[in-house]
Amino acid sequence: MNIAKKQLVSYLLNALIFILGFTAVLRSLIYHNTGSNLGYYTELSNLFGGIVALMYVLTAFIDNSIYKRAVTFFKVVTVTMLSITFLVSAVYLAPTFGSYILFGERLVLVHFIIPLIALISFLLFDTYEFKFYDTFSGACATSVYGLAWIIKMLATSSDVDAPYPFLQIFRQPGWQSALWFIGLVGLAYLVSFLLYLGNKKLSKLINF
């Protein structure tokens, strides 16, 4: 099997995402001693990001067009989710609660390092055969996450377990919750679209 140097770097970066992602989620599970932390978008993005990164590495051995199509679709989903994790942490959570959100010992991996590696790999080294509808995948995943939490909170008439302040639907006006939902889903689509364009343009700059 002859693998080009650029593709080899891509596989190595994705292997690193898999290892770091599962290490971070496992550490979080051990720290909380419960699975409740898997309700966080951060944890899910890193868990699924690790799984799909491993799936991408396996494309070196699985030469199947349907499998590769699925990997491309879910790669857009997970890199979008990881990017949203970083953006929300950097722009909202860190200014609100402190810089430890980005650079704290337990959080730096999931909020900064893994999203950064995922972006570098996706934009510069990974190879995909995109369909335009892939750009909607990140927004779909983010909307499903938000709706799942909203339904849970409405069913229990409580937002005490909401993982983020902007999901506390009973502690803020309805219009504010709606703006958060629309804004984050819209941001997810914008990120997916920019990833789609970025890979097509930037990946051509790296050639060795």
Residue 91: phi and psi, rounded to 5, are -90, -30
Q: Please list the pLDDT of the chain residue by residue as tens digits (208 residues).
A: 446 888 999 999 999 999 999 888 888 777 766 555 778 899 999 999 999 999 999 998 998 999 999 999 999 999 999 999 999 999 999 999 999 999 988 789 999 999 999 999 999 999 888 888 899 999 999 999 999 999 999 999 988 888 899 999 999 998 999 999 999 999 999 999 999 999 988 888 777 6
| Domain membership of residue 130 as a residue range | 5-205
- For residue 43, what are its two tokens? 């944890």
Q: For residues 195 and 45, give the distance between their C-alpha atoms in angstroms, rounded to a whole number.
A: 16
Among 184, 190, 12, which residue's Cα sits nearest to residue 85?
Answer: 184
Q: For residues 126 and 204, give the distance between their C-alpha atoms in angstroms, rounded to a whole number.
A: 10
Please count the structural domains in the chain. Answer: 1
| Residue located via tokens 């510069």 | 124
pTM of the shown model: 0.92
Q: For residues 187 and 90, give the distance between their C-alpha atoms in angstroms, rounded to a whole number.
A: 14
